[in-house]
Amino acid sequence: MKAKRKGWIATAILTIVAVFYVSPLFIVLMNSFKKKAFINLEPFHMPSEKTWIGGENYANAINDYGFLKAVLWTLVITVGSVVVILICTSMFAWFITRVSNRTTKTLYTLCVFSMVVPFQMVMFTLSLVTDRLRLNTPWGLIIIYLGFGAGLAVFMFCGFVKSIPIEIEEAAMIDGCSPLRTFFSVVLPIMKPTYISVGILETMWIWNDFLLPYLTLDLNKFSTISIVIQRMQGSYGRVDMGAIMASLVLAIIPIIIFYLSCQKYIIKGVAAGAVKG
């Protein structure tokens, strides 16, 4: 009985916590169907016949602020960055794990150390360098994301590679596989759980990121979702709350669907990447 009672108490507590976490999303969704004036006046009230505006806020966000174009650039940057991060960091992690010497150990330490360096220390220098090297495009931003996302990815991939029996790779080498073929034909399929978990974490970070695109992109030509939402707050305190709420809903839905469809792989991949050799 005591165990059952503890279970009910834990369920009740976690349910309350879940409600607190989900309530902001529900409030944003609810306000996206209200008239602008009533979003500030009645932010916690359900839409009524008086406050209901339907899909007009969504139409304004798409037509007046170029939201769909921002979605396209955000998708290009996110997919491109995640693919580059996964391929480059997994190959790098495999190399520095299998070739153990002072140089590779130093490289691994530098990658791990990069995770604890505050972004504020490099943001102004980064903005200057990207302008001078003409990396202020979505394609240049992909390279920048590779640098900032490599630390966590290399750490997780290295932990997983240490758990792979080296005899499997040696057998592939004996059969005539080159190092590249060994990696892509043997190692990469085994690393699938870590690939998925790293991909999920990197995707959620890049899709929602505001600061890096804002500092590096040529904002006259390219904008991401977060930048477009920030622009909806105009000069002299003018804020298009209806378009902001609609844009937030449109930005949240894809990443929630992606996360829910892949969440079962996160714990498995993180646990696999935490194995110590």
- At residue 252, does pLDDT exceed 90? no
pLDDT of residue 277: 44
Residue spans of the domains in the chain: they are 66-273
Q: Are 72 and 221 in contact (CB under 8 A)?
A: no
pLDDT of residue 20: 86
Q: What is the pLDDT of residues 153-177, one digit of tens each?
A: 999 899 888 888 888 888 888 888 8
Q: What is the pLDDT of residues 83-139, one digit of tens each?
A: 999 999 999 999 999 888 899 889 998 888 888 888 888 888 888 888 888 888 999
pLDDT category at 272 given cuts 50, 70, 90 is low
CATH topology for the 66-273 domain: MetI-like fold (1.10.3720)
pLDDT of residue 74: 93
Nearest 5°: the CA angle 266, 268, 271 is 105
Higher per-residue confidence, 273 vs 28:
28
Pure H helices in 162-191: 166-174, 179-182, 188-190
Q: How much of the chain exceeds pLDDT 70, in percent?
A: 92
Mean pLDDT within 200-212: 90
Cβ-proximal residues to 222 (8 Å cutoff; 6+ apart), any chain: 73, 137, 138, 213
| Cα 87 from Cα 94, distance rounded (Å) | 11
> Is the sign of the CA dihedral 169, 173, 179, 181 positive or negative?
negative
**Which residues in 121-140 are b (16+ Cβ under 10 Å) and which e?**
eeeeebeeebeeeebbbbeb
Q: What is the pLDDT of residues 5-33, one digit of tens each?
A: 777 888 888 888 888 888 888 888 888 88
Q: What is the pLDDT of residues 175-205, one digit of tens each?
A: 888 888 888 888 888 888 888 888 988 998 9
The H or E element that residue 239 is part of is: none
